[in-house]
Amino acid sequence: MPSLIDLHSHSTISDGLLTPAELVAHAASKGVRVLALTDHDDTAGLAEAESTAVQHGIQLVYGVEISVTWRKRTLHIVGLKIDPEYAPLINGLAAIRAGRHTRAEGMAAGLEEIGIEGSLEGAYQYAKQGIISRTHFARFLVEKGFASDMRAVFKKYLVKGKPGYFEHQWADLEDVLGWIINSGGVAVLAHPGRYDLGRTNMLLLLEEFRNLGGAAIEVVTGSHTVDQYQEFAKLSRQFSLQASMGSDYHGPAHAYIEMGRLPDLPAGCVPVWQDWPEAEFLQAGLH
Ligand code: AMP
Ligand code: MN
Ligand code: MN
Ligand code: MN
């Protein structure tokens, strides 16, 4: 029995490998019935995804994964059921994308200092449709033989303290929650287990996130270990936050979980989709 709902995925509009149409077709082939496309800082794939979803009988949830700086750390906030026509959201995302370009220039300059030439153009070759990200630099560096795979290339060049890392100020948490919530959407803290926060800061973050109107945290995600499913299930209950689940799929041969293979939310979690008409058949148990 496949997992029927997947609320976190990427297409070629950000750093995924499949076009929005290919991604939706892939999800359908794996048995997914409710899918959110959540490209980084860009909603440009939603229209194409929607028309393919209709053909495949998939319920598409309009989503986006927004980059935030909170207390000098990068966080990702997933917006679900957003209105991609909402002007403050459009303008906010456009500003983040412009910042991504400046950051990419900084990354390329850092790589040039250690003798790696042409990485800006090289990365953009992989980012034809939408945003520029570290993933595109990673693909370029692997292609040129600077590292053997994605995991190794991030570790060697693209994380804090490495030559291709460039300190960047993303959007403000409060602003981002405002764009999402005022567009009619719900805000979800993406893969909380991936942030190296420590217990005290994690509790602070969850409290602040909830006080700013955040609705849910990802409990089951391709970025969490099985132990983290339980850990964040518990924290979601403790903070009265709903629970979300998504593969964070980026395409075949990428380091995340396959679609349709997610385990159920741990007992006691309130699913973020509990009142959604598009997921009603899940509540009714009509699998
Ligand atoms: P950016 O938003 O430009 O900083 O890029 C972040 C993206 O890089 C994430 O969404 C992941 O898709 C990818 N990423 C981050 N760390 C790793 C890693 N260790 N291995 C593979 N992909 C990674
Ligand atoms: Mn990504
Ligand atoms: Mn993320
Ligand atoms: Mn993601």
Count of other CB atoms within 10 angstroms of residue 228: 18
The answer to whether residues 272 and 216 touch, using CB atoms and an 8 Å cutoff, is yes
The residue whose C-alpha atom lies closest to atom 8 belonging to ligand 1 is 135
> How far is the C-alpha of 192 from the C-alpha of 201, rounded, in Å?
11
Q: Give the C-alpha separation, 201 to 195, whole Å.
A: 10
**Nearest-atom index, ligand 1, CA of 254:** 21
Tell me, what's the pLDDT at 287? Answer: 46
Give 146 Cα–ligand 3 centroid separation in angstroms.
Answer: 24
Residue 285 has pLDDT above 70, yes or no: no
pLDDT band of 113, cuts 50, 70, 90: very high
> Rounded to an integer, what distance in angstroms lies between the CA atom of residue 96 and that of residue 27?
28
Query: What is d(CA 13, CA 137) in angstroms, rounded to the nearest whole number?
Result: 15
Q: Which residue has the higher pLDDT, 22 or 257?
A: 22
Share of the chain above pLDDT 90, in %: 94
Amino acid letter for position 15: D
Comparing CA positions, the residue from 91, 32, 35, 49 lying closest to residue 66 is 91
**Model confidence over 135-168: pLDDT tens digits?**
999 999 999 999 999 999 999 999 999 999 999 9
Q: Where are the alpha helices (DSSP H) in the chain?
A: 20-29, 46-56, 87-113, 119-125, 134-143, 150-153, 173-182, 199-211, 226-238, 280-283
Spatial CB neighbours of 207, under 8 Å, sequence gap ≥ 6: 239
Interval 193-252: pLDDT, tens: 999 999 999 999 999 999 999 999 999 999 999 999 999 999 999 999 999 999 999 999
* The pLDDT of residue 284: 63
CA distance 285 to 287: 6
Nearest ligand 1 atom, CA 100: 3
Q: What's the whole-number average pLDDT of the chain?
A: 96
Q: How confident is the model at residue 282 (pLDDT cuts 50, 70, 90)?
A: confident
What is the separation of C-alpha 13 from the centre of its chain, rounded to a whole number of angstroms? 12
What is the atom index within ligand 1 of the atom nearest the CA of 159?
16
55 to each of 2, 48, 205, 249, how far by Cα in Å?
A: 20, 11, 40, 21
Q: Is the pLDDT of residue 264 over 90?
A: yes
pLDDT over threshold 60, residue 45? yes
Which ligand has the shortest distance to the CA of 64?
4
Question: Using CA atoms in the order 230, 234, 237, 238, what is the torsion angle rounded to 10 degrees?
Answer: -160
Neighbours of 284 (CB within 10 A): 8
Determine the residue of 135, 136, 141 to mutate for testing ligand 1's pocket, defined as the one with the most ligand atoms within 8 A of the Cβ atom: 135
Q: Any idea of the CA torsion for 221, 226, 227, 228, to the nearest 10 degrees? A: 0
Q: What is the pLDDT of residues 46-80, one digit of tens each?
A: 999 999 999 999 999 999 999 999 999 999 999 99
> What's the CA gap between 138 and 144, in Å, rounded?
10
